[in-house]
Amino acid sequence: MGRIRHPHIVRLYEVLACKSKIYFVLEFAKGGELFAKVAKGRFSEELSRKYFQQLISAVGFCHSRGVYHRDLKPENLLVDENGNLKVSDFGLSAVKDQIRPDDGLLHTLCGTPRMLRRRS
């Protein structure tokens, strides 16, 4: 998230760490998850277009910077106090640097470290 700064992406202000935890200080999106708004009923065509345009603007910007979200869903799309969409939760994201030149594929691990250790 440090690579990207866009009006429709939740801003990362600071990363703090101690021995056992990592803390992220993020922009607050007062409107909550898009998922909760969808659950209440249909959006107007105008509002749907607005959200979709904001989403593709954010995703296009990420891709231009070599960042791939890989977990876009209504729970990871927030709404700010002005009714604008904000993409959040880059926990499964990958960066272009992780693409291997020999096969052109992303080689990343997904999941919690505890689960990954069990598989080894």
User: Catalytic residue positions?
Assistant: 71
The Cα 40–Cα 22 span in angstroms is 34
The Cα 66–Cα 74 span in angstroms is 22
The Cα 11–Cα 80 span in angstroms is 12
The Cα 49–Cα 86 span in angstroms is 15
The Cα 10–Cα 28 span in angstroms is 8
